[in-house]
Amino acid sequence: MRPIGFSTGAVAKGDFRRALEVMAPFRLPAVELSALRLHELPRLVEASEELNLAGYKYVSVHAPSHFAPADEEQVVSWLTELAALGWFVVLHPDVIFRDELWLEFGDRLLIENSDKRKPTGRTADEMKLLFERLPGARFCFDVGHARQVDPTMNEAYLILQCCGPRLCQVHISEVNFFSRHDPLSSGAIEATRRIAHLVPEHVPVIVETLIDKGQSTIEAELHRAVDALRPTLPIAV
């Protein structure tokens, strides 16, 4: 059974405590604590030791998606505290300004492939270069980003082929034309199935579908995510 969970930011934007409360009844094995906005990170660090995460087998934190180079050292310092708790750190590659600051995370750092707005991390070739810079890092595969960059899922396949051995976590959602995380459509489910066989069963899946305004429900999105990651093996000759 694939470990699956939700991003707190998808459940209750900017309110990780509330999100954890909403998610608690579902007893999900995985959770990603969202600190996508810079001001959320120190709050999360302050609260980290008192949060009840005992039921979760897998915990990660999503680093801020935007900050200035001048803030990088502070961000790394905060994230280091969270990594020391055993949390994995999910990071967008376009906010890596000084590689040496991130080397210390080793395999606790998960570099995520990017959506089409970003200048790097969108393709297999770009991911390869990133892992050459941070060879100890692992990989968070964002299905929605990959599909937005290439709806045929060709690039997703190539990314998983090259970065698969580093795969530590999967993000799943539908990333729409405006780079917003929508509920999974049938098209997104069908597309994800094409590469599902390349995602090992033990890799945790974090649902990023925004449900904070009632766009969908936790149950519905969990079902869709499980459905999407049911492999349809491609050709057999």
Interface residues toward other proteins, by CB under 8 A = 116, 150-154, 157-158, 161, 177, 194, 197-198, 233-237
The nearest distance, CB 116 to other proteins, in angstroms, is 7
Q: Which is nearer to other proteins, 48 or 192 (CB)?
A: 192
The nearest distance, CB 149 to other proteins, in angstroms, is 9
The nearest distance, CB 72 to other proteins, in angstroms, is 29
Contact predicate 152/209, CB 8 Å = no
Q: Which is nearer to other proteins, 73 or 125 (CB)?
A: 125
The nearest distance, CB 204 to other proteins, in angstroms, is 21
Residues 33 and 36: their CA atoms lie apart, in Å, by 9
Q: Which is nearer to other proteins, 86 or 200 (CB)?
A: 200
Q: Which is nearer to other proteins, 33 or 228 (CB)?
A: 228
Three-state SS string over the chain comes to CCCEEEEHHHHCCCCHHHHHHHHHHHCCCEEEEECCCCCHHHHHHHHHHHCCCCCCCEEEEECCCCCCHHHHHHHHHHHHHHHCCCCEEEECHHHCCCHHHHHCCHHHEEEECCCCCCCCCCCHHHHHHHHHHCCCCEEEEEHHHHHHHCCCCHHHHHHHHHHHHHEEEEEECEECCCCCEECCCHHHHHHHHHHHCCCCCCCCEEECCCCCCCCCCHHHHHHHHHHHCCCCCCCCC
The nearest distance, CB 66 to other proteins, in angstroms, is 22
Q: Which is nearer to other proteins, 17 or 197 (CB)?
A: 197
The nearest distance, CB 195 to other proteins, in angstroms, is 8
Q: Which is nearer to other proteins, 135 or 234 (CB)?
A: 234
